[in-house]
Chain A
Amino acid sequence: MDAQLRTLDTAEATTHYEKSKPGGSGSLWRMSAIARNAFREAVRDRVLYNLVLFVLLLTAASIFIGELSGGQERKVIVDLGLSAMLLFGMFIAIFVGVGLVYKEIERRTIYAVFSKPVGRGEFLVGKYLGLCLTLLVNVLVMGVGVSVALLYISRGWDPLIPTIWPAVLLIYLELMLLTAVALLFSSFSSPALSALLTFLLFVIGHFSADLKALAASMGSTGARWFFTGLYYLLPNLSNYSFITPAAHGRTPDPGFVFVTALYALVYIAVILAAATLIFSRRNFK
């Protein structure tokens, strides 16, 4: 029964939406129906179970790290908590992200979806937003977890608590970017290859400063142009790494957060547009 429900979810959701929608032609409504369904599917697939592991990790760290860190338990908890948030989020973004479209094709439920008045772009964006919602819940709960661990270690209010949240926001933006990349790859490739490519892009994205330096050190103009092009083409993920400064109680400049958020939104829009372009030309027969 559960398997049947799973395979019919997206199609049912869109049908249900068609029956209940107030207007009749709202693209946003259709995308939100697919997003809500993708979120429900992620919850049902026990994606949020990683939170249990996270809580166990933080609890163990809060208790034992004091003995190992030479009085640096607050810094270690923030580093560990936020790094785990990024790592777990990255795995969810990659492994759930690459399966978002593939599963629908594999189970052939995509035919049921597209038999309704749902555009391919709407389907992709809806799926994307659904996973972003899952990641948002994940990141928020983890942020609260780190704050509680800090409260426990400091036996009361800790000044690091408010400083971690801008870093949490930047992590979330990075995960949104990564999810879009995973979705793009999965729109034309197999899940295994998509996961590999997304992971590689995550790694390269953190080496963007090296790409720029490499470009500057190149002798030939062609090579310099090539690496400079790569630097601007690939997502600059190192801008979203604010974990280490957050552990020292530093917060990013609001202007910096604004620009990086804008960059993420623009980049996501570009990737989703590319994914839609590829996906809309795909033949499911």
Chain B
Amino acid sequence: MNNERLKSITLGLVILVGMASAALLVRWTDKLRPPVDPNAIDESLYLNDKTARRVSLGFNGLAADWYWMRSLQYVGKKLINSTGDISLEDLSGLNIKLLAPLLDTATTLDPEFIEPYEYAAVVLPAIDVQQAIRLAEKGINANPNAWRLYHHLGYIYWRQGQYQLASETYGRGAQVPGAPAWMEAMKARLLSEGGSRSTAREIYTRMHEQSGDDQVKQMASKHLQRLDSLDQRDGLRKLFAAYQARTGKCPESWRELGQIFRTLGIPMDQSGAPLDPSGAPYLLKAGACEVELDPKATKVPLK
């Protein structure tokens, strides 16, 4: 083996061993570092929205995408680190105070970027409703022909129980060229029955149809499942009432109602319990003429 070759092999070994040692040392220092609460760590905004737009030169679209993806990662990371079943609509326990400025920056960099406005309308009301409204209004000012933004703003007002404002917003959106006919219908419905279950169903159905965001679609779908479940439980209570009127007592087990369920075509499991929209069996409160979701099995939101 000549000297040159020996030198190459030695250097190669030094590189390999050195890199492996460095990796091991990093792992060691990671262990030595005191553990931190992941929810306590907060992202920081690099720049405020106006400065970000200024310094983005011709790359503002790409910078907006960057801020949008940071927003998603920011919320996603907090969700992963959280425990329990958390709805996208109520992330108030996650300390996501930077979400509003992140979305604000994304929309300042690219005012025509509709998705951040939608995300803000769904997520922000539980954290800072004024910011949610401000962002939706900002979107409408920048994109007066985007009827979907009126839908989002109307949704924020509806969630706050401000049906009059929600109705007016849907009415404004209905005037936008190309807006679907249901926007006008929503205006009337919100005025007459703002807090009703059917209004909620209509809103979440439209949200599920229109949204391009999977998380928002999933959230709307969960709400629709919950509304379906509420309707189903109302129906079951009616059956209990009829059973009680006939027999003078509440059913002790689902089997007592099996014949009626079969006649009505209600799906059941092997024990004869009717299934909720997520496919889990309902729980019967024996002798109480009451039915409830099984918190251990169901995927339908409990509230």
Option from A83, A206, A210, A245 in Cβ contact (under 8 Å) with B62: A83
Contact between A86 and B58, CB atoms less than 8 A apart: yes
Chain B nearest CB, measured from A211 CB (Å): 12
Separation of A203 and B64 alpha carbons in the complex (Å): 19
Chain A residues whose CB sits within 8 angstroms of the CB of B215 once the complex forms: 70
| B residues near A250, Cβ cutoff 8 Å | 112
Task: Give the complex CA separation of A243 and B62 in angstroms.
Answer: 9
Contact between B112 and A245 (Cβ–Cβ < 8 Å)?
yes
**Roughly how many angstroms separate A207 CA and B58 CA in the complex, as a whole number?**
10
Given contacts A70-B115, A72-B115, A75-B113, contact A80 B57 (CB under 8 A): no
Which B68-104 residues have a C-beta within 8 angstroms of A? 68-69, 72-73
| Chain A binding surface SS class | helix
A70-B213, A71-B212 known; A244 vs B69 contact (CB < 8 Å): no
A60 interface hit (Cβ, 8 Å): no
Q: Does A27 contact B (CB under 8 A)?
A: no
Number of interface residues of B (CB under 8 A): 22
Query: B60 to chain A: which residues have CB within 8 Å?
Result: 241, 244
Our pick among A79, A86, A202, A203 for the contact of B65 (Cβ within 8 Å) is A79
The docked-state distance in angstroms from the alpha carbon of A250 to that of B146 is 14
Asked if residues A76 and B65 are in contact (CB atoms below 8 Å), the reply is yes
Give the distance in Å from the alpha carbon of A75 to the alpha carbon of B213 in the complex: 13
Q: Mark B183-221, 1 if CB is under 8 A from A, else 0.
A: 000000000000000000000000000001111000000
Q: Name which residue of chain A comes closest to B61, CB basis.
A: A244
Within the complex, the shortest CB–CB distance from B281 to chain A, in Å, comes to 34
Asked whether B5 is an interface residue with its Cβ less than 8 Å from the other chain, the reply is no
Interface size on A, residues (CB 8 A): 30
Give Cα A36–Cα B88 distance, bound, in whole angstroms. 59
CA distance A240 to B59 in the complex (A): 11
Query: B37-72: which have CB < 8 Å to A?
Result: 54, 57-62, 64-65, 68-69, 72
Does chain B have a CB within 8 A of A108? no
Inter-chain CA distance A65–B112, complex, in Å, is 20
Within 8 Å CB of B115, what residues of A?
70-72
Are B58 and A79 within 8 A (Cβ)? no
Q: Does B110 contact A (CB under 8 A)?
A: yes
Alpha-carbon gap, A157 to B63, bound state (A): 26
The answer to whether B213 and A71 touch across the interface, beta carbons within 8 angstroms, is yes
List the interface of chain B (C-beta within 8 A of A): 54, 57-62, 64-65, 68-69, 72-73, 110, 112-113, 115, 119, 212-215
Would you list 28 pairs from A and B whose C-beta atoms are within 8 A, ordered by A residue? A68-B72, A68-B73, A69-B65, A70-B72, A70-B214, A71-B115, A71-B213, A71-B214, A72-B68, A72-B212, A75-B61, A75-B113, A76-B65, A78-B61, A79-B61, A83-B58, A83-B61, A87-B59, A202-B57, A203-B57, A206-B57, A238-B58, A241-B60, A243-B58, A244-B60, A245-B112, A247-B61, A248-B112
